[in-house]
C-alpha cells in the first residue's frame, strides 16, 4: 500500500461509491431506517391504546385504515368478529385518557417489524387484548398503518398457532 494523491483518493472514493457493494450498504442503511420507522409506528399504535394518546394515533395510523379482529366473548366458545374505524380508534383512546385507567406495567408490549420493503411493511404487536398484525405503507415519507387484523389470546387448550 503506497500513499495516494488527492486525485487518486477521489478516484478511489468515486469507484467505491459506484460499486455494487456501496449500493448494497446504502440500501442496508435505508432498510434499517425503514425498519426503525415501521417499529416506531407499531409502538405508537400500542402506546396510543395503552396510554390514551390520540396524537400517536394521528401520527401512525392512516385515516383510511381497515381494522378487524376476532375475540371470544365470556361464556361463549366461538370467535366473533368486529371492526374498528379510524374515528372509533380515536374515540377509544380518548376514553382511555379520560378514564385514567391504563394497563399495568406488566402488560405485554411486544412490537416486531416482520418484513420491510421500500414502500410496504408488516409488523406484529402483542398487547393485553391479544395479537395484532399490521400492514403499513410509506405515505408522504412516513410509515403509516393501513390495515390491522387481530385476535384475542387463544383460550386455554386452543392451539393458537405458532
Can you give the pTM of this predicted structure?
Answer: 0.77
Dihedrals φ, ψ of 119, to 5°?
Answer: -125, -30
Per-residue pLDDT of the chain (162 residues; tens, 9 = 90+): 444 444 444 443 444 445 455 444 454 555 577 899 999 999 999 999 999 999 999 999 999 999 999 999 988 889 999 999 999 999 999 999 999 998 999 999 999 999 999 999 999 999 999 999 999 999 999 999 999 999 999 877 655 544
The whole-number pLDDT of residue 1 equals 45
Beta strand residue intervals within 40-119, DSSP E: 61-71, 80-84, 110-116
Q: Tell me the fold of 20-151.
A: Nuclear Transport Factor 2; Chain: A, (3.10.450)
C-alpha cell at 125: 404487536
| H or E element that contains 133 | strand 130-139
Amino acid at each position: 500500500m503506497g500513499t495516494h494523491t488527492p486525485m487518486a483518493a477521489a478516484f478511489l472514493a468515486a469507484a467505491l461509491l459506484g460499486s455494487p457493494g456501496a449500493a448494497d450498504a446504502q440500501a442496508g442503511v435505508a432498510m434499517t431506517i425503514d425498519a426503525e420507522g415501521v417499529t416506531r409506528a407499531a409502538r405508537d399504535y400500542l402506546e396510543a391504546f395503552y396510554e390514551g394518546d390520540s396524537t400517536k394515533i394521528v401520527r401512525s395510523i392512516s385515516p383510511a385504515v381497515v381494522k378487524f379482529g376476532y375475540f371470544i366473548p365470556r361464556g361463549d366458545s366461538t370467535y366473533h368478529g368486529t371492526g374498528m374505524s379510524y374515528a372509533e380508534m380515536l374515540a377509544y383512546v380518548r376514553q382511555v385518557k379520560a378514564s385514567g385507567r391504563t394497563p399495568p406495567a406488566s402488560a405485554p408490549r411486544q412490537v416486531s417489524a416482520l418484513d420491510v420493503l421500500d414502500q410496504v411493511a408488516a409488523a406484529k404487536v402483542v398487547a393485553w387484548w391479544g395479537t395484532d398484525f399490521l400492514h403499513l405503507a410509506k405515505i408522504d415519507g412516513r410509515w403509516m398503518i393501513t390495515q390491522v387484523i387481530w385476535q384475542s389470546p387463544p383460550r386455554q387448550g386452543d392451539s393458537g398457532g405458532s
